[in-house]
Chains A and B, each alone.
Chain A
Amino acid sequence: DVQLVETGGGLTQPGGSLRLSCAASGFSVSRNYMSWVRQAPGKGLEWVSIFYTGGDIYYADFVKGRFTISRDNSKNMAHLEMYSLRAEDTAVYYCARGEVAGRVDDWGQGTRVTVSS
């Protein structure tokens, strides 16, 4: 069975950093499209970043230059490094797997990030 488990969320001050991790099982991260999607409290879904199977990477404009997505094929994990965090980055961050680009076939349970002073 496919399983995605996110860790690394928490409370940080504006300007701070966090590293989210996603432990994957039941599939290979290198052969799937790995993404991070977020949801601010009471709001809708926003696609943050995607790591293509071939290595291409895309970021939403609202995180470009501040967030970095990566994958560790040997550990079957994905990560999201977040820098220069802002209050508006406060959200639940979901790790997501897609068999094709732009589709989420499986979601993690989410990890909550709160940016506040």
Chain B
Amino acid sequence: EIVLTQSPATLSLSPGERATLSCRASQSVTSFLVWYQQKPGQAPRLLIYDASNRATGIPARFSGSGSGTDFTLTISSLEPEDFAVYYCQHRSNWPFTFGQGTRLEIK
């Protein structure tokens, strides 16, 4: 089973700042890495698929990069609605697993 480790666990930033979230895989997942956003009391939402492709309707301030074992989700300039928990997930092979999440909170 591939283990995904996200860092940091919590990120405290202010609106307008740049956020950089990391996801590291225990073995290569090539580009089969997905990012989701989850707000309290809501289901997750697909943000980025296959490492760098924005899902439909996702603002351009969200971008993903990386391949192999190291991946990054970047939010270029934080909006108030971006404060949430972010999960990475691989789809390289079964079982598909998620990282433990990064909580992005308002500083």
Contact = CB atoms under 8 A, between A and B. Distances in A.
17 contacts: A45-B36, A47-B89, A50-B96, A61-B95, A102-B34, A102-B89, A102-B90, A102-B91, A102-B92, A102-B94, A102-B96, A104-B34, A104-B44, A104-B46, A107-B43, A107-B44, A108-B43
Given A45-B87, A107-B43, 14 more contacts: A44-B100, A45-B36, A45-B98, A47-B89, A47-B98, A58-B94, A94-B44, A100-B91, A102-B32, A102-B34, A102-B92, A102-B96, A103-B91, A104-B44
Q: How large is the interface on A (under 10, 10 to 19, 20 to 34, 35 or more residues)?
A: 20 to 34
Interface of A: 44-47, 50, 58, 60-61, 94, 100-110
B36 A44 contact: no
Q: Bin chain B's interface residue count.
A: 20 to 34
B86 to A, nearest CB: 11
Contacts of B101: 44-45
Contacts of B7: none
